[in-house]
Amino acid sequence: MLLMNLQRLSESVKRQLRQTQTQHESPPYKGQSFDEVVELRKQYLTPNVTSYYKKPLLIHKGSGSQLFDQDKSYLDMFGGIVTVSVGHCHPKVNAALEEQLRTLWHTTNIYMHPKLHQYAEKLVAKMPGDLKNVYFVNSGSEANDLAMMIARLYTGNHDIISFRNAYHGASPYTMGLTAHSTWRYPLPGLNSGILHAMNPDPYTGIWGGKQCRDSPVQTTRSCDCQEGQCKATDMYYDQLEQLFKYSLPRGKVAGMFAESIQGVGGTVQYTKGYIKRAAELVRANGGLFISDEVQSGFGRTGEHYWGFEAHDIVPDIVTMAKGIGNGFPMGAVVTSRKVAEVLCQALHFNTFGGNPLACAVGMAVLDVIDEEELQKNSLDVGTYMLKGLERLRDKHDVIGDVRGKGLMIGVELVADKETRQHLSAPHFVDIWEMCKDMGVLFGRGGLNANVLRIKPPMCVNRTDADYALAVIDYCCDQYMKKQKRGSRR
């Protein structure tokens, strides 16, 4: 199906594609036609609902790391926006949901049902320290909403800090935390009590370089830092102190939010040691430190089960969603009993949070991650892919930076490697669309939408990684040849 697009690829990659297409023949699709679905979408969905790609995909089935439209299969290297953690339609997760469907769908928590309590025990067993109380919700935005409220109630303070370039949700409450102009509506009170700290980004930030990131792949940017000492962290931390000194009531902050690795922002990692020092500063000023593990949790970063562990901290509150349910809508807030008690000041209720179906799915996901050693697989395949991408960065002028840990990877495309000028949208789309046409789906992120987000189901293997790398290599090569031809005209 795709071989016409691969005439210039090596014979080994061609053979791999043939094998992949044979193994993953697209199952028959019997639904409405593409054109009918497009018309229904235009007529009945709100106009802000947009699709990836010039010709959107009509996906009707998923299996493992594969997605299927009407015509062919695709290697899913984005995992439904970092949501499919153990693989599309995993048989054990499917079976747990089907069994629960036959017994009890819903009661809400006004009654006790076994799955809620079994799952709570199983989930908090994965948490360090005093993080042993959980409240279940339905999404990451809901989880961060609740964490904001808890922090303000517990501390008696109002102001909350997040990073520039952060994404913590799109509800009216969490939109204030999210520091991307593209995700923000002009609503009154959006920034009430919310401040955005300078992002300690060693690639595009003011400071940082080749010694500053906890990743198998470092930026090529020059750096004066020595082993074990990051000068960039000192300077970014000084900026955070300035925020406390000039923009906050003395000694009074409710909390600080941080993704362990920024997701929507383009898989941005912080300078070494910054998060630990930031957490200490927040606590010294009366606040709580909140780790947003919506994208980086459940073994995705490989070395640890939770992204915050790489920063050598135990947060006061942890929020999670996405991979927690492998695509089932669920989320959670985990904190200590002492902090959680503030919710007893009034009634608080979530109709669907912790419902039997979600809890059955959540338990099965935890089991699969352990039984199939998917955290270990994330480390193995992710590091293998990062090293392969590093070679492509050194080969192609259009690849400016490669970063991440485990299967949370970002590839920043640039117009100029020296200045780190981002690749403009039309040029990025050229490469991105070519990848799709060749059967590999990548996400898109960063403030300038110039980062390939590689965050596949954690069941992907080295064969999948090899093919994804070959496609990126080919597409970047074709793009650069096209640019050279254009410059000669």
Burial 249-285 (b: 16+ CB within 10 A, else e): eeeebbbbbbbbbbbbbbbbbbbbbbbebbbebbeeb
Q: What is residue 9's predicted lDDT score, i.e. its pLDDT?
A: 59
In a domain, 2, yes or no: no
CATH classification of the domain holding 260: 3.40.640.10
**DSSP output for 374-422:** HHHHHHHHHHHHHHHHHHHHHH-TTEEEEEEETTEEEEEEEEETTTTEE
**Nearest-CA neighbor of 442 among 81, 92, 164?**
81
In a domain, 86, yes or no: no
**DSSP output for 86-114:** S-BT-HHHHHHHHHHHTT-----TTS--H
Q: Are 456 and 488 spatial neighbours (Cβ–Cβ below 8 Å)?
A: no
In a domain, 336, yes or no: yes
Q: Domain range for residue 470?
A: 11-80+374-487
Residues 428 and 358 in one domain: no
**DSSP output for 254-275:** -EEEEESSBTTTTSB-PBTTHH
Query: Cα(309)–Cα(44) distance, rounded to whole angstroms?
Result: 44
The last residue of one of the domains, among 341, 372, 403, is 372
The last residue of one of the domains, among 329, 344, 372, is 372
Q: What is residue 4's predicted lDDT score, i.e. its pLDDT?
A: 45
Residues 307 and 422 in one domain: no
Residues 153 and 267 in one domain: yes
Residues 399 and 312 in one domain: no
**Nearest-CA neighbor of 389 among 418, 413, 373?**
413
In a domain, 60, yes or no: yes
Q: Are 178 and 166 spatial neighbours (Cβ–Cβ below 8 Å)?
A: yes
- Residue 332 main-chain phi, psi, to 5 deg: -160, 155
Query: Cα(199)–Cα(237) distance, rounded to whole angstroms?
Result: 10
Q: What is residue 227's predicted lDDT score, i.e. its pLDDT?
A: 75
Q: What is residue 147's predicted lDDT score, i.e. its pLDDT?
A: 98
Task: Provide the 8-state DSSP code for 27.
Answer: P
Residues 133 and 97 in one domain: yes
Residues 402 and 467 in one domain: yes
CATH classification of the domain holding 73: 3.90.1150.10
Q: What is residue 12's predicted lDDT score, i.e. its pLDDT?
A: 59
**Nearest-CA neighbor of 63 among 327, 378, 263?**
327
Q: What is residue 108's predicted lDDT score, i.e. its pLDDT?
A: 82
Query: Cα(419)–Cα(400) distance, rounded to whole angstroms?
Result: 10
Residues 132 and 237 in one domain: yes
Query: Cα(261)–Cα(406) distance, rounded to whole angstroms?
Result: 11
For the chain, the domain total comes to 2
Q: Are 354 and 159 spatial neighbours (Cβ–Cβ below 8 Å)?
A: no
Residues 343 and 389 in one domain: no
What CA–CA distances, in Å, run from 134 to 124, 229, 354, 373, 382? 7, 37, 10, 25, 30
Q: Are 149 and 339 spatial neighbours (Cβ–Cβ below 8 Å)?
A: no
Structure tokens at 184: 């923000």
Residues 55 and 181 in one domain: no
The last residue of one of the domains, among 318, 344, 372, is 372
In a domain, 85, yes or no: no
Residues 359 and 397 in one domain: no
Q: What is residue 19's predicted lDDT score, i.e. its pLDDT?
A: 57
Residues 366 and 380 in one domain: no
pLDDT digits (tens, 9 = 90+) for 186-223: 999 889 999 999 999 999 999 999 999 999 999 999 88
In a domain, 200, yes or no: yes
pLDDT, tens digit only, all 489 positions of the chain: 444 445 555 565 555 554 555 456 677 888 899 999 999 999 999 999 989 999 999 999 999 999 999 889 999 999 999 999 999 999 999 999 999 999 999 988 889 999 999 999 999 999 999 999 999 999 999 999 999 999 999 999 999 999 999 999 999 999 999 999 999 999 998 899 999 999 999 999 999 999 999 999 999 998 888 777 899 999 999 999 999 999 999 999 999 999 999 999 999 999 999 999 999 999 999 999 999 999 999 999 999 999 999 999 999 999 999 999 999 999 999 999 999 999 999 999 999 999 999 999 999 999 999 999 999 999 999 999 999 999 999 999 999 999 999 999 999 999 999 999 999 999 999 999 999 999 999 999 999 999 999 999 999 999 999 999 999 999 999 999 998 877 655
Q: What is residue 488's predicted lDDT score, i.e. its pLDDT?
A: 58
Cβ neighbourhood burial of 245 (10 Å; 0-12, 13-18, 19+): exposed
Query: Cα(101)–Cα(276) distance, rounded to whole angstroms?
Result: 43
In a domain, 325, yes or no: yes
Residues 113 and 223 in one domain: yes
Task: Provide the 8-state DSSP code for 184.
Answer: -
In a domain, 4, yes or no: no
Q: What is residue 3's predicted lDDT score, i.e. its pLDDT?
A: 41
Residue type, 353: G
